[in-house]
Amino acid sequence: MWQAISGASNEIVGGIVVAGLLGLFGLVYRRYKALKEEFARTEQEIERMKEEAGQLSAAKEEHERLRAELHRKDEELRHKDEELRQVKAKSQEDSLRIKKLWEQVSDAEVQLETMQAELRRKDEVLRQSEAKSQEASRRIEALQGQLETAQTELQRKDEALERAEAKSQEASRRIEALQQELEREKAKKRLPPMSDADFLKLCESGDARQVDEAIKHGANVNAKDNRGVTALMLAANNRWQLITAIQ
């Protein structure tokens, strides 16, 4: 009886182990899917950062173009100043021309101030863009680090999943082996039924536990001796527990 109880306990433990492994497999699979989604979002964020870097490069090229234009205007202004000095060296007949040139110089100065203000504004925008570019580079590096970490974690989870599957298969094989062993033990315990004479002697002895085992192995509870005395009658002469077992 105790061996049968032990075999049943092994079956229950095997079932619990399989259920635990299946639960672990489900948990690992859900974490695997979450990591894949995080990996896709990280790749999208990197692409967006690259687009912002391209826009910053275009702003830098525009800044260089404005700087070249300012230099050209400055050269034109110096050229006008030279022309003005030449005009002043001439006679008063050129006064109208000088006045016109001064007007052109004034306009050029206004344009120069306007362009200088625009250049300062562009410089500020460029500094801000460079700061954003540096921040974007740092974020890209951080995201790449997170991506590498996620890939490493994903690889580790894949390996853990493979190990869990291997353990699950091993547990299934062990449970099957235990079941086969249990069947063999059960087969060994299947004894031939006790004869009527032996069963009657056992009832007369008053051992309730042995009587119960004999009944479980197929003993005839209606057995009679040559006097017509039944097992129940013999049990009544000994203990009430035997009567309960036979009934």
Residue 229, Ramachandran bin (φ over 0: left; ψ between -120 and 50: alpha; else beta) = beta
List, in sequence order, every residue forming a beta bridge with 224; answer none if it has no partner: 230
Is the confidence at residue 211, as pLDDT, over 60? yes
pLDDT tens digit sequence for 15-71: 787 777 888 888 888 888 888 889 889 888 888 888 887 888 877 888 888 888 888
- The pair phi, psi for residue 200, each rounded to 5°, is -65, -40
Whether the Cβ atoms of residue 8 and residue 175 lie closer than 8 Å to each other: no
Could you tell me the pLDDT band of residue 1, with boundaries at 50, 70 and 90?
A: low
Residue 94 DSSP class: G
* The length of the chain, given as a count of residues: 247
Q: CATH 1.10.287 in the chain, residues?
A: 2-189
Could you tell me the pLDDT band of residue 97, with boundaries at 50, 70 and 90?
A: confident
CA 57 to chain centre: 37
- The pair phi, psi for residue 222, each rounded to 5°, is -100, 15
Is the confidence at residue 200, as pLDDT, over 60? yes
Q: Which fold has domain 2-189?
A: Helix Hairpins (1.10.287)
Q: Which fold has domain 196-246?
A: 1.25.40
Is the confidence at residue 240, as pLDDT, over 50? no
Distance, in Å, from the CA atom of 21 to the CA atom of 193, rounded to the nearest integer, reads 43
Whether the Cβ atoms of residue 130 and residue 56 lie closer than 8 Å to each other: yes
Q: CATH 1.25.40.20 in the chain, residues?
A: 196-246
Largest CA distance in the chain: 170
